[in-house]
Amino acid sequence: MAAQSTDLKVLESLTRAQLHAHATRYYKSGGRTEPEVALVVYGDARAVFKDYARTPGWFGRIIAPVLIWREASALRRLDGIVGVPQLYRQLDARGVLIEYLPATPWPQAKPAEAAYHKLDELVDQMHARGVAHCDLRAPSNMLVDEDGQPYIVDFVARVCRGRGWNLPWNWLFRQFVGADESALAKLRVRFAPRLATADDRARLDERGPVERIARAIGERTRAVVRFFVGS
């Protein structure tokens, strides 16, 4: 345990080049609008490195720093919630180092029913802290471990609750909270139909106006659009 925490301290202080050199696998290998997502191993310590430094062009230069800021600020706001990875370090405008979760993406995991209830609680906790995830329709953003503990990753599309006086913004925030809840309904219908209620099925057919627009624009571009609209 002591060796692990010393290793983690060293891992957290590595440069970008060293982090890539210690990557043992890439969950994502990067692209024109995508980060590299690497599992970094140093001795007994592990971490996940999400890095846009090699994302080319204007996306890498202008959009990526906004996405990394969005991810890091959400992780700070959610700090301490079991099921959300800890932010170890923001390297700079284009990279974050976060806690490695020894868990499997939801679609491959075949989680037990109890995991769905825990996931509901986790999403409620996240909303109570004032964060709507906005990309839970991608089931790869939810993981589950062997004990049935759920986890949520990938906060680049998040929307945070505004100040009390900002009624229009908070109306919008509630729409995105609703979109997260619809995404959980969709998850049940797809992967745990026995758990899906009539309400869940109905929810998939009737979406609010913001949700319809958000879906029409598409997952990736939603994050970009919010950048231009503001957060």
For position 34 contacting ligand ADP by CB under 6 A, the verdict is: yes
Residues 71, 154, 180, 200: which binds Mg ion (CB under 5 A)?
154
Closest separation between CB of residue 47 and Mg ion, Å?
A: 17
Report the partner that residue 34 touches, choosing among Mg ion, ligand ADP, none (CB closer than 5 to 8 A by kind). ligand ADP
CA-atom Rg of the chain in angstroms: 18
Closest separation between CB of residue 188 and Mg ion, Å?
A: 20
Closest separation between CB of residue 116 and ligand ADP, Å?
A: 18
Closest separation between CB of residue 190 and ligand ADP, Å?
A: 16
> Which residue bears the tokens 């990309």?
135
For position 51 contacting ligand ADP by CB under 6 A, the verdict is: no
For position 156 contacting ligand ADP by CB under 6 A, the verdict is: yes
Pairs from 158-167 (Cβ < 8 Å, separation ≥ 24):
158/70, 158/71, 158/74, 158/131, 158/132, 158/133, 158/134, 159/131, 159/132, 159/134, 159/226, 159/231, 160/73, 160/74, 160/77, 160/130, 160/131, 160/132, 160/231, 161/130, 161/131, 161/132
Residues of this chain, 99-138, that bind ligand ADP according to CB under 6 A: 99-101, 105
For position 150 contacting ligand ADP by CB under 6 A, the verdict is: no
The 36-75 site mask, x for binding Mg ion (CB under 5 A), equals ----------------------------------------
Residues 33, 55, 90, 141: which binds Mg ion (CB under 5 A)?
141
| Residue numbers at the binding site for ligand ADP (CB under 6 A) | 27-28, 34-35, 37, 48, 50, 85, 98-101, 105, 140-141, 153-154, 156
Q: Which residues bind Mg ion (CB under 5 A)?
A: 141, 154
